[in-house]
Chains A and B, each alone.
Chain A
């Protein structure tokens, strides 16, 4: 196969070369110059332009009829308007496309070179130019007015009883979150993300869990750094050197090292105390080095560097988690509790037909885009910048299956902003169904903190409140 392709390419090149040679030869024999276009060539090219135009029109009609309606009718209310607007614009541009191309190719054919004719000197005509400035302006004004009318309707505020759903994106999947019985989403915070809390929903437990994990990691790195042979030796050397300078130099010249260990105001007494601490530490290090055995670590400079950097990052992370503060939402729900009854689903999510839904989009890592082609809906999902889009589904999945005659059909939400290797696979099914079915489906979904657990917690909390020891504060001070 490859060999065959290679042969074709080689023959192609040889053919082109031969063609060039023949045309050069004939040119030099007849004294023809490259810039002289023969009458036959002119007519041929004029005719080819007309043929091309005919084929282009044929292709346009074919494509419009066979591929113009690949998407079924809009399954959302605003989509009906969008489709109307699309058709409206589409017919305008198709008209211009046909007329302008027709004129272009027709003139190319009609006015092909004829040495007997002289072109008409026609340099400008203000009236004509005015016409084709004003007419497009009017048409565009109409397009702009209709477009902005639809745009304002699409992007206007959602109604108060709209269903709110948070769509959360990450490489490479989507989740949908429903606010639960209290009607409030738990706040999300990227610092609280763990494998069991992929959306970073804020609850006291989530905060405590993350803090615990962080403390563990910080402790482990600190312990390891305390067992690294090179670091121990360096520390010991510094201590020994400082003690030595203090003994001989009356402790006045170099305070820097002492300041690290604090308490240097009271010279005589403080110095002795510090010295004994230092000696104690030296003994400790000697003991470790002598008997530490397998516990001791020997790391490269690079490894120490990365571990220290990691330690720094973990401590910053800990601080950010500590900074997460509780507050009361407008509806009176405590922000720490709002997330407990949230329902998070993956793979597919359900929408009631005929009810407005306002999506709020959040992203964990890079920009994604939630594209729902059947609903004529799309909005980017940007890390750090929540976005919104509202729509009202008007055709249930079942009805659409009937319309399309495809029992396997499903509405879909897919990622439409390149986000990495598996971008082309990042999707979620959408099921549109009756309000009753939707309620039943939603009721069957697990809450973020399972109901029994939440109840237990509430009881515990009440008990703790009674003993005036709020759980939140213990967690914070931890």
Chain B
């Protein structure tokens, strides 16, 4: 990097950049836009669920022929539910979260000049962007976007006769997802190779910050599971376009007995959830890694039980591969197989419990600095516990029979994956914003943003458990046909009101984010007094990260309030004092 200061053109610096810091910003800004679209869609369908059949100007204005007269159309409803889920799970919480923070932090925290392959990294972003564009544009086509739910179970999604969204909309969904997987694989391979090979001198595996461990395991999960999604998608494309019958059998639809026998729709579910369950942890682990780092830094205390934390990340990663069929207890799968999955699924609660208790012990007798990142991380611990606990009920097959596919499930995964993961993402943005843009985000607006999000997040998803327990199925356009659900009508109204306030509240973040890029207070080199290597780089964010030699690492990343030192933090690149033993 001798020529780190050479002039770069606008294109190579901001568009086709191979610098990991720029690519991370590209991922983040794309994800913010995708997130805004997905949140807006959720407001539209919450309007319908809260006040079924009522006319709303905003739906009339945005939904075109699917919102004529301001009332959401039934197919339009299903398609925005589907695209909301797809965008949130894949584009915001997978691409956005891993793409942003793995890219930004891996080279900075392990002491590398850049990713192992800057070019692959750039490709990864451009595949991501292309697939995002295709996914969003599928909302604008004649038959409407894919609308069989984000899990696209065949035969519903495989047969264009079954619903309008299963035509071109579904084709675009499949294409977009294939490109997305390419992006994710390029990124993940890069992350793994970089962490394994480019660590600076002294950065042993057990001196890695927990963010690195989380990103490493996440990338491994991605590399092992996303190809299975591609195979599921390829078989689906063949069933749709080439007359095969992998997922189809004995079907009579639109007045015709189809020439398909011998396939099984359940096969798709196995393939899908073989990705789908690790995917949950692909979403969650980076958030947990980020919050570990932030909680330790701002509690001015080492993270409690570093090795246990590493162990639980690995355990969760491993277990996530052998629990997938807990999504399928009531598909007619062999009940004994169901029992096995009950067992493995509930095992995951153990490493999760260890993590939660370790977070809390880290707070105990700490000196908690409530930066916006810190309070979002505390919020994350709360939602992680609250949402994780209801997973115990869903993992129990006998109980799943009753609550499967009801709002109980929606509440569960939105709290544990939606809120926790998005809180991790927000926390990361507030914390590392100075590393990205050399400026600070406004703290007061950060507070306002947190409280709106936290209160509304609980306000939306906590009562939702009770809607589910009352037996309300998810993905229903309205419950008017079922008088036994009259009792939860008012809960649905409350949920929708919280959803609207909470969604609008996100504008505080968007405003703060974009304003701070240009007008924020200029940052100092190490604003949070952190120990990890990214805070030893200059504020200017140069190509190659460190102007001189790469830093050398002498200690673990959590030397906060170490009694052997006078200062309350000792960066990783400070050599051990005479007689000091490394922790």
Whose C-beta in chain B lies nearest to the C-beta of A210? B257
Stretch of A14-22, A273-281, A334-342, A468-476 contacting B (4+ beta carbons < 8 Å) = A14-22
Chain A residues whose C-beta falls within 8 Å of the C-beta of B349 in the assembled complex: 136, 140
The yes or no answer to B130 lying at the interface (CB within 8 A) is: no
Stretch of B28-36, B199-207, B211-219, B462-470 contacting A (4+ beta carbons < 8 Å) = B462-470
Minimum CB–CB distance from A78 to chain B (whole Å) comes to 8
Chain A residues whose C-beta falls within 8 Å of the C-beta of B360 in the assembled complex: 100, 103-104, 107
Chain A residues whose C-beta falls within 8 Å of the C-beta of B573 in the assembled complex: none
What is the bound-complex CA distance between A132 and B155, given in angstroms?
A: 45
B 176-196 binary contact with A (CB < 8 Å = 1; else 0): 000000000000000000000
A 115-157 binary contact with B (CB < 8 Å = 1; else 0): 0011111111100110011001100100110011011101100
Q: Per a CB cutoff under 8 Å, which of A119, A151, A384 touches B263?
A: A384
What is the bound-complex CA distance between A71 and B339, given in angstroms?
A: 27
CB-based contact A12/B507 at 8 Å: yes
Q: Per a CB cutoff under 8 Å, which of B75, B368, B458, B507 touches A108?
A: B368
CB-based contact A366/B162 at 8 Å: yes
B 336-367 binary contact with A (CB < 8 Å = 1; else 0): 00110011001101100110111111011111
CB-based contact A385/B264 at 8 Å: yes
Minimum CB–CB distance from B60 to chain A (whole Å) comes to 9
Minimum CB–CB distance from B441 to chain A (whole Å) comes to 7
CB-based contact A89/B396 at 8 Å: yes
Given A56-B458, A133-B354, A152-B339, A385 and B402 contact (CB-CB distance below 8 Å)? no
What is the bound-complex CA distance between A416 and B445, given in angstroms?
A: 42
CB-based contact A121/B342 at 8 Å: no
Which chain B residues in 506-524 approach chain A with CB under 8 Å?
A: 507-508, 511-512, 515, 519-521, 524
Whose C-beta in chain B lies nearest to the C-beta of A381? B332
Minimum CB–CB distance from B388 to chain A (whole Å) comes to 9
Minimum CB–CB distance from B424 to chain A (whole Å) comes to 16
B 304-333 binary contact with A (CB < 8 Å = 1; else 0): 111110000000000000000000001110
Chain B residues whose C-beta falls within 8 Å of the C-beta of A90 in the assembled complex: 393
Which chain B residues in 456-488 approach chain A with CB under 8 Å?
A: 458, 462-463, 465-466, 469-471, 473, 475-479, 481-484, 487-488
Minimum CB–CB distance from B382 to chain A (whole Å) comes to 6
Listed residue (B252, B300, B305, B306) with the most chain A CB atoms within 10 angstroms of its CB: B252
Listed residue (B148, B357, B458) with the most chain A CB atoms within 10 angstroms of its CB: B357
Stretch of A294-302, A347-355, A367-375 contacting B (4+ beta carbons < 8 Å) = A367-375
The yes or no answer to A27 lying at the interface (CB within 8 A) is: yes
CB-based contact A147/B342 at 8 Å: yes
The yes or no answer to B65 lying at the interface (CB within 8 A) is: no
Chain B residues whose C-beta falls within 8 Å of the C-beta of A112 in the assembled complex: 368, 370
The yes or no answer to A82 lying at the interface (CB within 8 A) is: yes
Stretch of B87-95, B115-123, B220-228, B559-567 contacting A (4+ beta carbons < 8 Å) = B559-567
Stretch of A258-266, A418-426, A438-446 contacting B (4+ beta carbons < 8 Å) = A418-426
Stretch of A62-70, A176-184, A283-291, A453-461 contacting B (4+ beta carbons < 8 Å) = A62-70
Given A100-B356, A113-B370, A124-B307, A418 and B78 contact (CB-CB distance below 8 Å)? yes
Chain A residues whose C-beta falls within 8 Å of the C-beta of B484 in the assembled complex: 70-71, 373-374, 409, 412
Minimum CB–CB distance from A196 to chain B (whole Å) comes to 13
CB-based contact B466/A63 at 8 Å: yes
Whose C-beta in chain B lies nearest to the C-beta of A113? B369
Whose C-beta in chain A lies nearest to the C-beta of B462? A59
The yes or no answer to B141 lying at the interface (CB within 8 A) is: no
Which chain B residues in 58-109 approach chain A with CB under 8 Å?
A: 58, 61, 74-75, 78
Whose C-beta in chain A lies nearest to the C-beta of B560? A119
CB-based contact B265/A367 at 8 Å: yes
The yes or no answer to A186 lying at the interface (CB within 8 A) is: no
Chain A residues whose C-beta falls within 8 Å of the C-beta of B404 in the assembled complex: 369, 378, 416
Listed residue (A45, A151, A190, A313) with the most chain B CB atoms within 10 angstroms of its CB: A151
Minimum CB–CB distance from A40 to chain B (whole Å) comes to 11
What is the bound-complex CA distance between A284 and B402, given in angstroms?
A: 70
Q: Per a CB cutoff under 8 Å, which of A49, A81, A367, A374 touches B156?
A: A367
What is the bound-complex CA distance between A23 and B163, given in angstroms?
A: 53
Given A70-B487, A148-B342, A427-B481, A121 and B396 contact (CB-CB distance below 8 Å)? no
The yes or no answer to B398 lying at the interface (CB within 8 A) is: yes
CB-based contact A155/B442 at 8 Å: no
What is the bound-complex CA distance between A278 and B458, given in angstroms?
A: 82
Chain A residues whose C-beta falls within 8 Å of the C-beta of B553 in the assembled complex: none
The yes or no answer to B454 lying at the interface (CB within 8 A) is: yes
Number of interface residues of A (CB under 8 A): 126
What is the bound-complex CA distance between A454 and B105, given in angstroms?
A: 77
Listed residue (B148, B248, B381, B469) with the most chain A CB atoms within 10 angstroms of its CB: B469
Given A52-B454, A147-B398, A378-B330, A423 and B477 contact (CB-CB distance below 8 Å)? yes
CB-based contact A152/B335 at 8 Å: yes
The yes or no answer to A204 lying at the interface (CB within 8 A) is: no
The yes or no answer to B542 lying at the interface (CB within 8 A) is: no
What is the bound-complex CA distance between A97 and B392, given in angstroms?
A: 12
Minimum CB–CB distance from A301 to chain B (whole Å) comes to 21
The yes or no answer to B153 lying at the interface (CB within 8 A) is: yes
Minimum CB–CB distance from B42 to chain A (whole Å) comes to 17
CB-based contact A383/B249 at 8 Å: yes
Minimum CB–CB distance from A331 to chain B (whole Å) comes to 24
CB-based contact A37/B58 at 8 Å: no
Given A45-B375, A67-B466, A377-B401, A89 and B473 contact (CB-CB distance below 8 Å)? no
What is the bound-complex CA distance between A67 and B472, given in angstroms?
A: 13
What is the bound-complex CA distance between A332 and B388, given in angstroms?
A: 54
Q: Per a CB cutoff under 8 Å, which of B259, B375, B463 touches A63?
A: B463
CB-based contact A136/B350 at 8 Å: yes
What is the bound-complex CA distance between A422 and B558, given in angstroms?
A: 56
CB-based contact A16/B511 at 8 Å: yes
What is the bound-complex CA distance between A1 and B59, given in angstroms?
A: 13
What is the bound-complex CA distance between A151 and B340, given in angstroms?
A: 12
A-B contact pairs, 17 of them (CB 8 A): A9-B504, A16-B445, A23-B445, A35-B371, A46-B370, A79-B402, A85-B396, A101-B385, A121-B560, A132-B353, A148-B339, A154-B398, A365-B162, A367-B155, A369-B404, A385-B249, A416-B473
Other A-B contacts than A24-B521, A111-B364, 14 sampled, CB-CB below 8 A, are: A2-B57, A42-B369, A60-B462, A67-B466, A70-B471, A86-B393, A107-B366, A121-B560, A133-B350, A152-B335, A365-B162, A367-B155, A387-B332, A424-B478
